[in-house]
Amino acid sequence: MGTMDMSRRRFAQLSGLVGASALAGLGLPDNAEAIEQAPVDPEFPVSGRGRKLEATYDPSTDEVKINDEVIVRYSNCVGCYAMCGVRLKLDRESREILAQGGNPYNPCNAYPVLPFDEPLTEAYRTMTQSPSKQAGAATCCGRSLGALDVYLNSHRITMPLKRAGKRGEGKWQPIGWDQLIEEVVEGGKLFKDIGEDREIEGFRAVRDFDTPLVPDAPEFGSKANGLIYCGGRTDGRGQTSTRFLSMYGSSNKYSHHSSCYGAKGVYPYQSGDGDDLGIDAEFNEYAIWMGTFPGANGGSVMSDLKRVASTIENKQAKIVVFDPNLGNGVVTPAQDNAVWYPIKPATNSALTMGMIRWIIDNKKYNEDFMCAPNLPQAIKLGFNACTNATHLVIVDEGHPNYRHMMHPEDAGLEPSEKENAFEDQYVCIDASTRQPAVSLDSDKGLMEWEGEVNGVKVRTAYLFLKDSANEHTIEEYSQVCDVPVEVIEEVASEFVAHGTKSSVNGAGGVTSANGTDATSCFSTLAGLTGALCMKGSLIATFVGVVGPGNGDRYLLNKAEGVPEGKPDARVDRTGFAWEDTSEYQRRVAAGERDPKPLLPWYPGGVGTSDNQMVLSLANGYPHKAKILLTWQCNPIKATPGAMRDEVMEAFKDPDIVPLAICSDVVEGTFAHMADYIVPDTMYREHFGISQHAAWWGHKGNFLQWPMVEPKSMKLDDGRHASFDAFLCDVGRKLGLPGYGDEGLLSATGEKLPFNDACDYYVKALANVAYEDGVIDDLSQEEIEMQALDTLPDAWRKAVAAEEWPKVQRLLSRGCRTWPEADTFDDEGRHTYAGAYMVNFYSEERGSVKNHYTGKYYEGALGWHAEAFSDGTPIEDVYSREEYPFGAASHKPYFRCVTMLSDSALMRELSPHNYLEINIEDARELGIRDGETVQAVNPSGDVMEGVAMVRGGTARGTIGISFGYTQDAYGSTDLTVGDETIPGNPDIDTGVQLCQMLDPQVGEGGIFAFSDPEASTPGRNGGMFKLVVPSV
């Protein structure tokens, strides 16, 4: 294994300084040359060189004496997207950041977490390991420390930049804020000064509701939909961009969800109005983690480490991990009560189906739970969710609702008058009468029944799952996933034995070409035991109040004059059938039989797909953009197979993207290819409100707020340049509804200003403060302790006088958490759970056809090998013998979001990633640890990296950590005005696996390997071979 040469003193220097060469930022006058190395300090200790203490604590008196020279503030971290907290230590006089740590009020950082109502003095005591409140000080991870480099980044964008050369050349000219707004709104010959005579339409011209975006294709709506927006995972700031797109009138809004979250949520294998489900890591007795290694990746590393490690140490729970990679988390091969099983990439559903086959064959499912035909009956039996196991599915090919669930009108029954937690009513065979009944009116239904109801052939949903499980033997499932039969049977047995204290979840497998089945595993397994929304099982996560919405104090989703009518189809080709497009109908009318599109359509795909948006624009199909607006994102990197010249060149082509605008804090990939760069703020400098994202089953909202003054330029009116300010100013100049001095509404209907982020988010904080119990005002003592009396006057004016002290209280904790004692009722039901129903058969999936094959997708979970878009298994096209390896990506400790590649601390801790290979595979191929090796896919892409030979990688697997190799982010030279800033090639180190192209799509199409149902990227799995390059 490769080694890293870094001394402990060097680590301390970097950790303390973290980008000590903070410069004025790109685009500002007198921009100094970047200093890549931290200064060498004299030998320690040196008198007077220590940091100022935050406080002192006397254990004999329990007295905390706070140092008035230091301010400690709490907020949220976005070093990755786990929504942990951060504690920032500031010099009171200069407001310089002295240090940072974890937020004791945030459950991701602290376990047990410090309750919201505890005073700030108690937060200081937790740093002394006071046993009465917390087991230890709140911690933060290396990513959080590395994110400090972003704040101090020498390549940071601080003022607007306009392209001064061709797209991608890295040549920029600083311009004023007013010029930026004028040019992007009004358009014109914007680059005439550099010899480009093209007339470019701005925001005003594109916002045309009378002209169709695509002639003769009304499904794409008006020209206004030519504005295509893509942002990163929103980190609590996405509400303002959503508002802008709604007011502008474009439905082409995309986020990081698809490329990160994969196929989760594609088809509702769980119905209802509840939140996403996750493992109750605190109270479970048996937990299966698939493709997510607790304490190494996935959710919050800090939260997982503490909660999962505690259950293992206390012998409360047994943890089983199925993952192609042995992560550096809390599960090791030498532990008791914890075990790691290697599994082949992209075979999660084979493992799950093997478990389900064993459970069904041995009748170990919870029949009482599964036979409850409605939610009230399931709750009466002691559960907190229900299934559709007894609900009838129409299998009569001549019926108009073929492959849909049977509803009362199909059965000749009157709808029930009972309250229904779900949108539709269903039909079952009542167990006592053996007659059809509306499921709401039955106490118990039959799970295994098929026949005719009202002359219509039907069968129960459960039978579809049973049939699917029986398609293969356990031995065959074992052979597919490379998990021994005895392990499959043992894990299945233990899972059901722990009942509602068992849980299962994961992430990695959902970003594979068969991720639709992989994501369905979790709720289907839980549906066999009743382990859903119960203490210790799968419970609702992301639970909090919706501050940036219509709350008790402000109606932030409302505005007068919002454009009505949204188009049916979007540029990403999801949520719409190919057969319903005008293109298909024209080609059929012209006599073409069974026409096929250039790229696949996904009528049942994820809500919006950023990776498919990328591929659509790269091909100019189904239409091109008018304006591409991006914000702190890189969906090209997150789309395996898209990191190729043809795709990058397409985004530089003004015929495909006439106007490209990017908002970011550094010159990332999309900024590098943009016409204009809008400076943004980073998480220490801006507002954001989110629900918690950790494996923490309680209720809370996490907050970001400007704890320090932003480093972006200050505008003439006192605001700082940011993406939020940009949206407000474009909105005002266009006269969009919902912007300007009367843009927002109070709950009483009063019209209020929306000219900057604080106008919106401080009101959203007031909503958080008043919803589900009004919080107390912050005391004057604590206001002064954190210098919250020095906050900008505009914040205070954004809310009513009585609301401001409550907003200050939220800021003082960096979050709001509700009492943990309120989370579960006396019978263990999760009180914050919505109405959940596990769907053993999904009509949304079962009624959708693949437009290449004309065949319906299966309605139940099953094992399906990786396939191309037309349903052809990849091994029918390419030889597995020639390409025996599959990819298994994972998030490393020292990389995450793309900006961290420009962190000196992260680079020194982990300069590059590796191609991780199993010991036996390496021996057979003659590959040595540390040797240069190439991964080659069937499309001919060659990716070269350093081999790491280890036992912690499954056979037939190439392990790869995500976040390395950057084509921008400071790795290339930049010219800003007359100054050239040399790039640092160390930023662009490591390797990223590029997945093969799909050879089955239309001729000339560039299409990366994707899930043929979900549209999501096939990041894991695929086909590769390993070769040692000749010298």
Every domain of the chain and the residues it spans:
8-151, 270-543+830-844, 872-1027
What pLDDT score does 693 carry? 63
What pLDDT score does 908 carry? 85
CA gap 328, 952 in Å, rounded: 10
CA gap 262, 865 in Å, rounded: 17
C-alpha dihedral (913, 918, 920, 925), degrees to nearest 10 = -40
In this prediction, residue 35 has a pLDDT band, given cuts at 50, 70 and 90, of very low
What digits encode the pLDDT tens for the residues 187-221?
999 999 999 999 999 999 999 999 999 999 999 99
CA gap 74, 104 in Å, rounded: 9
In this prediction, residue 683 has a pLDDT band, given cuts at 50, 70 and 90, of confident
What digits encode the pLDDT tens for the residues 297-347?
666 777 888 888 889 988 999 999 999 999 888 888 778 899 999 999 999
Residues 6+ away with beta carbon under 8 Å from 852: 596, 600, 869, 870, 871, 1000
What pLDDT score does 20 carry? 30
In this prediction, residue 945 has a pLDDT band, given cuts at 50, 70 and 90, of very high
Q: Please, what is the Cα angle at 947 between 943 and 951, to 5 degrees?
A: 130
Nearest in space to 897 (alpha carbons), one of 378, 398, 196, 235 = 235
270-543+830-844 CATH, one of 3.40.50.300, 3.30.70.260, 3.40.640.10, 3.40.228.10 = 3.40.228.10
How far are the Cα atoms of 25, 57, 72, 89, 908 from residue 98, in angstroms, in the given order?
20, 20, 10, 5, 21
What pLDDT score does 134 carry? 61
What digits encode the pLDDT tens for the residues 653-673?
999 999 999 999 989 899 999
User: What is the domain class of 872-1027 according to CATH?
Assistant: mainly beta
Q: Phi and psi (nearest 5°) for 702?
A: -105, 145
Which of the residue ranges 302-311, 722-731, 761-770 would you say has the lowest mean pLDDT?
A: 302-311
End-to-end CA distance of the chain: 22
Nearest in space to 134 (alpha carbons), one of 164, 99, 109, 98 = 109
Read off the amino acid at residue 463.
Answer: L
- What's the whole-number average pLDDT of the chain? 90
CA gap 89, 100 in Å, rounded: 6
Residues 6+ away with beta carbon under 8 Å from 934: 942, 943, 944, 945, 1026, 1027, 1028, 1029
In this prediction, residue 540 has a pLDDT band, given cuts at 50, 70 and 90, of confident
What digits encode the pLDDT tens for the residues 773-810?
999 999 999 999 999 999 999 999 999 999 999 999 99
Q: With pLDDT > 70 as the criterion, what percentage of the chain qualifies?
A: 92
Which of the residue ranges 426-430, 890-894, 895-899, 958-962 would you say has the lowest mean pLDDT?
A: 895-899
What pLDDT score does 130 carry? 54
What digits encode the pLDDT tens for the residues 842-853?
999 999 999 999
